[in-house]
Amino acid sequence: LAHRLPHSGAAPARPSFGIAFDIDGVILRGRSPIGGSPQAIRRLYSEDGSLKIPFLFLTNGGGVPEHKRALELSELLGVNISPAQVVLGHSPYRELVNRFEDDLIIAVGKGEPAAVMADYGFRKVLSIDEYSSYFRGIDPLAPFKKWIVQQADSKVHPSYDVFEERVKGVFVLSDPVDWGRDLQVLCDILLTGGLPGSGRGDQPPLYFASDDLEYQAKFPSERLGMGAFRIALESIFNQVNVHQLKYISYGKPNPFVFKNAANILGKLAMSIYPSSLPAMELKEHQLSTIYMIGDNPKVDINGASKAGPPWSSVLTRTGVFRGKDNDPQFPADLVVDTVEDAINCILEKEC
């Protein structure tokens, strides 16, 4: 990297490439770093701890605000990761705030889905846990469940009547925890036009942060993801309703996710050596190559291929993909064993 590093006297060149890391199955399994990820990531920083190569995490996971995930990743990987370097499946929900202004919306999934939406600026949001707890008997199986669910806080009454106010939007942010209850309550909301227990009505908009059928977690074989939940909900809804379920899924492999990531990486590149280009160019900094390092051919590799240049795809064998050669359906530009191997190859080629 010697010729790209800042040195006294001459204006340093900005790195012309960037990297997007998938998280589950590439960087972590559960909460454990895999594939030499801490060492690999550390190579993207200078000795003084400053960022040398623009990179971000581009995951379909979520459930916590970006700043919280950045903190967790910093601790797990031993480097300083900024919230701007974390793009979660639900990060684009931020752009929908104005569409829902004072509407009641429901946030679904593990973690703190309602806190995330409040963080994005949604003003009237309840988690599905809290919302369900207002409707006595909505989940007939609740008495048989051995876990404790967060109840509606009796001291913090919403300023509106949940039995009158229709739900105007449903946002799935992360993998739902109690599929049975959530399938039931979401059918109630979606079939009735947003008011469980009332008559049939128009389906409110439904958003999924991703459509991953499977992903790699701690367990040796893949786990069912949000896409599997979507299929379950859609199959049931379409059986009990004359209209088909309408929904929008975000996350990889949608090309707009890669476009957004490219913009963030361009800005990060500018912030690394801000004074080396004239103001005009500063606004438009484009990286010549962006590497997507992922474990899921259908999601990560397919997404990078569909996005086209400057994206280039690197497939690891630490997650969903375990093949010997390339994936036959969604072949990557490069296949390696681990994320550390990926970084070795990239730095060798680029630096």
- The separation between CA 9 and the C-alpha centre of its own chain, rounded to angstroms, equals 42
Instruction: Using DSSP bridges, classify how beta strands 28-29 and 32-33 pair: parallel, antiparallel or unpaired.
Output: antiparallel
- Report which residue's Cβ sits closest to Mg ion: 25
**Among 15, 19, 33, 59, which residue sits at the site for ligand G3P (rule: CB under 6 A)?**
59
Q: Does 211 bind ligand G3P (CB under 6 A)?
A: no
Q: Which residues pair with 155 in a beta bridge?
A: none
**Least distance CB 22 / Mg ion (angstroms):** 4
**Least distance CB 179 / ligand G3P (angstroms):** 14
**Least distance CB 57 / Mg ion (angstroms):** 11
Kindly indicate which of the ranges 23-31, 70-78, 118-126, 236-244 contains the residues binding ligand G3P, using the contact rule CB under 6 A: 23-31
The rounded distance, in Å, linking the Cα atoms of 36 and 338 is: 7
Kindly indicate which of the ranges 16-24, 240-248, 278-286, 324-332 contains the residues binding ligand G3P, using the contact rule CB under 6 A: 16-24
Tell which positions 157-196 bind ligand G3P, by CB under 6 A. Answer: 175
Phi, psi of 167 (to 5 degrees): -75, 125
The rounded distance, in Å, linking the Cα atoms of 131 and 224 is: 25
Contact 225, 215 (CB under 8 A): yes
Q: Does 225 bind ligand G3P (CB under 6 A)?
A: yes
Q: Does 24 bind ligand G3P (CB under 6 A)?
A: yes
The rounded distance, in Å, linking the Cα atoms of 62 and 60 is: 7
Amino acid at 208: F
**Among 112, 129, 139, 212, which residue sits at the site for ligand G3P (rule: CB under 6 A)?**
212
Give the binding site for Mg ion (CB under 5 A): 22, 24-25, 295-296
Count of residues engaged in binding ligand G3P, rule: CB under 6 A: 13
- Supply the DSSP string of 230-295, one letter for each residue: HHHHHHHHHHH-SSPP--EE-STT-HHHHHHHHHHHHHHHHHHSTTSS-HHHHHT---SEEEEEES
Q: Does 210 bind ligand G3P (CB under 6 A)?
A: yes
**Least distance CB 254 / ligand G3P (angstroms):** 12
Contact 253, 211 (CB under 8 A): no
Binding site for ligand G3P (CB under 6 A): 22-25, 59-61, 175, 210, 212, 215, 225, 296
